[in-house]
Amino acid sequence: MKHLLDTSVWYRGLVEPDTIPAELQKLLANTRVPFGLSDISLWEVGKKVQIGKMTLKKELGAWLEEACTKNVTVLPMTAKVVNDAMHLPRFPTKDPADEIIVATARVHNLTLLTLDRKLRNYRHAKIEYYRPLKSKL
């Protein structure tokens, strides 16, 4: 496993693939490529559904089960991940979920695939930033 999916990359890759660059779509579509996913990404999607910022075509639990495909390994928030998250140097956001996601990538030595502009120049983790595309809808 080489990559960790940011929540937005994971969600958009499944629900709005036309909003991510073709190069990233191709990578995500390859079912032989294993990806990591921080467990906090499941919570982020659930929270956004709960507060009405996101809608799903299925009930949340069913969607999450289906969205965790065979090539996606959900990585737990461990003591090492939390400790690393609390010590990220000059972290560019105040979002605790971003801290956990970046720390998960660092602890597991993975490259984070993200659409988050605030993380694109963060030099204390391996990050591949992709500029999101506008939806054709």
Question: Which CATH number does the domain housing residue 40 bear?
Answer: 3.40.50.1010
Cβ-contact 85, 102 below 8 angstroms: yes
Residue-wise pLDDT for 101-119, tens only, equals: 999 999 999 999 999 999 9
pTM, two decimal places? 0.94
68, part of any domain: yes
User: Above 70 in pLDDT, residue 136?
Assistant: no
Whether 136 maps to a domain, the answer reads no
Q: Which residue has the tokens 């709960």?
A: 50
Question: Do the beta carbons of residue 111 and residue 105 sit within 8 Å?
Answer: yes
Q: How does pLDDT run across 45-100, given as a tens digit for each residue? A: 999 999 999 999 999 999 999 999 899 999 999 999 999 999 999 999 999 999 99
| 11: in domain | yes
Domains in the chain: how many in total? 1
Q: Is residue 134 part of a domain?
A: no
For residue 74, the enclosing domain spans: 3-129
